[in-house]
A and B are shown apart, each in its own frame.
Chain A
Amino acid sequence: METAALKAKAAQIRMDLLRMIHGAKTGHTGGSLSNADILTALYYRVMNIDPQNPKWEKRDRFIASKGHSVESLWCILADLGFFPKEELTTFSQFGTRLIGHPNNKVAGIEMNTGALGHGLAISVGMALASKRDASGYRVFCLMGDGEQAEGSVWEAAMAGAHYKLDNLVGIIDRNRLQISGSTEDVMGLDPLEDKWASFGWNVVSIDGNDMESLVEALDAVPSIANKPTLIMANTVKGKGVSFAENVPHWHHHVPSDEQLEMALSELTALMESHIQEGQVR
Chain B
Amino acid sequence: MANKIPNRQVICDTLLDLAKGDRDIMVLASDSRGSAAMAPFADTYPEQFVEVGIAEQNIVGISAGLAHSGKKPFVTSPACFLSMRSIEQIKVDVAYSATNVKLIGISGGVSYGALGMSHHSVQDLAVMRAIPGLAVVLPADRHETKKMTEALVKHEGGAYIRIGRNPVEDVYDSDDYEFIIGKAVTMREGSDISIIAAGETVRVALDAEAELKEAGVSCRVINMHTIKPLDKEAIVKAARETGRIITVEEHSIHGGLGAAVAEVVVQEHPVPVKIVGIPDEPAIAGKTSEVFNHYGISADNIKKIALEMLGR
- Give the docked Cα–Cα distance between A156 and B88 (Å): 15
- Give the docked Cα–Cα distance between A112 and B90 (Å): 12
With contacts A104-B98, A112-B97, A155-B55 taken as known, whether A123 is within 8 angstroms of B92 at the C-beta atoms is no
Asked if B69 is an interface residue, CB under 8 A from chain A, the answer is: yes
Tell me if A129 and B66 are in contact (CB < 8 A): yes
Partner-contacting stretch, out of B57-65, B110-118, B120-128: B57-65
Q: Which of A129-148 contact B (CB under 8 A)?
A: 129-130, 132-133, 135
Tell me if A111 and B97 are in contact (CB < 8 A): yes
Chain A residues with CB under 8 A of B53: 158-159, 162
**Distance in Å: Cβ of A130 to nearest Cβ of chain B:** 7
Contact of B89 among A118, A130, A133, A159 (CB under 8 A): A118
Residue in chain A with minimal CB distance to B85: A152
Asked if B47 is an interface residue, CB under 8 A from chain A, the answer is: yes
Interface hub of A118, A124, A125 (most chain B Cβ within 10 A): A125
**Distance in Å: Cβ of A253 to nearest Cβ of chain B:** 27
With contacts A111-B97, A112-B96, A113-B92 taken as known, whether A129 is within 8 angstroms of B69 at the C-beta atoms is yes
Asked if A122 is an interface residue, CB under 8 A from chain B, the answer is: yes
Chain B residues with CB under 8 A of A114: 92
Contact of A155 among B50, B58, B92 (CB under 8 A): B58
Tell me if A125 and B69 are in contact (CB < 8 A): yes
Q: Which of A153-201 contact B (CB under 8 A)?
A: 155-156, 158-159, 162
- Give the docked Cα–Cα distance between A104 and B68 (Å): 11
Residue in chain A with minimal CB distance to B56: A155
Chain B residues with CB under 8 A of A151: 57
Asked if A110 is an interface residue, CB under 8 A from chain B, the answer is: yes
- Give the docked Cα–Cα distance between A156 and B89 (Å): 13
Chain A residues with CB under 8 A of B52: 155, 159
With contacts A111-B68, A125-B66, A126-B68 taken as known, whether A152 is within 8 angstroms of B96 at the C-beta atoms is no
Tell me if B88 and A129 are in contact (CB < 8 A): no
**Distance in Å: Cβ of B61 to nearest Cβ of chain A:** 3
Asked if B244 is an interface residue, CB under 8 A from chain A, the answer is: no
Chain A residues with CB under 8 A of B61: 118, 120-122, 124-125, 152, 156
Tell me if B96 and A121 are in contact (CB < 8 A): no
Tell me if A155 and B68 are in contact (CB < 8 A): no
With contacts A112-B97, A118-B93, A155-B55 taken as known, whether A125 is within 8 angstroms of B88 at the C-beta atoms is no
Chain A residues with CB under 8 A of B97: 104, 111-112
Tell me if A125 and B55 are in contact (CB < 8 A): no
Asked if A224 is an interface residue, CB under 8 A from chain B, the answer is: no
Asked if B40 is an interface residue, CB under 8 A from chain A, the answer is: no
A contacts with B: majority SS: helix
Asked if B33 is an interface residue, CB under 8 A from chain A, the answer is: no
Tell me if A112 and B58 are in contact (CB < 8 A): no
Query: What 1/0 mask marks residues of chain B from 69 to 80 whose CB sits below 8 Å from any chain A CB?
Result: 111010000000
Interface hub of A117, A124, A155 (most chain B Cβ within 10 A): A155
Q: Which of A90-120 contact B (CB under 8 A)?
A: 104, 110-115, 117-118, 120
Q: How big is chain A's contact interface, by range?
A: 20 to 34
Asked if A13 is an interface residue, CB under 8 A from chain B, the answer is: no
- Give the docked Cα–Cα distance between A129 and B68 (Å): 9
- Give the docked Cα–Cα distance between A127 and B88 (Å): 22
Residue in chain A with minimal CB distance to B58: A155
Asked if A215 is an interface residue, CB under 8 A from chain B, the answer is: no
Contact of A152 among B50, B58, B63, B99 (CB under 8 A): B58
Chain A residues with CB under 8 A of B60: 121
Chain B residues with CB under 8 A of A133: 69
With contacts A104-B98, A128-B50, A128-B62 taken as known, whether A111 is within 8 angstroms of B57 at the C-beta atoms is no
Chain B residues with CB under 8 A of A158: 53, 55, 58
- Give the docked Cα–Cα distance between A114 and B65 (Å): 16
With contacts A132-B47, A155-B58, A159-B55 taken as known, whether A112 is within 8 angstroms of B65 at the C-beta atoms is no
Tell me if B58 and A156 are in contact (CB < 8 A): yes
Chain B residues with CB under 8 A of A112: 92-93, 96-97
- Give the docked Cα–Cα distance between A133 and B69 (Å): 10
Contact of A128 among B55, B57, B66, B70 (CB under 8 A): B66
- Give the docked Cα–Cα distance between A156 and B58 (Å): 6
**Distance in Å: Cβ of B201 to nearest Cβ of chain A:** 34
Interface hub of B58, B60, B93 (most chain A Cβ within 10 A): B58
Tell me if B64 and A152 are in contact (CB < 8 A): no
**Distance in Å: Cβ of A224 to nearest Cβ of chain B:** 22
- Give the docked Cα–Cα distance between A121 and B56 (Å): 11
Tell me if A115 and B50 are in contact (CB < 8 A): no
- Give the docked Cα–Cα distance between A110 and B93 (Å): 11
**Distance in Å: Cβ of A37 to nearest Cβ of chain B:** 26
**Distance in Å: Cβ of B287 to nearest Cβ of chain A:** 34
13 contacts between A and B (CB under 8 A): A104-B98, A118-B89, A121-B57, A121-B61, A125-B68, A126-B65, A126-B66, A128-B50, A129-B65, A129-B66, A155-B52, A159-B52, A159-B58
Given A112-B97, A122-B65, A135-B69, 6 other A-B contacts at CB below 8 A? A111-B68, A115-B88, A125-B64, A128-B66, A129-B65, A129-B70
- B interface list, Cβ under 8 A from A: 47, 50, 52-53, 55, 57-58, 60-71, 73, 88-89, 92-93, 96-99
What are the nearest 5 A-B pairs in CB distance?
A: A125-B65, A121-B61, A129-B69, A155-B58, A125-B62
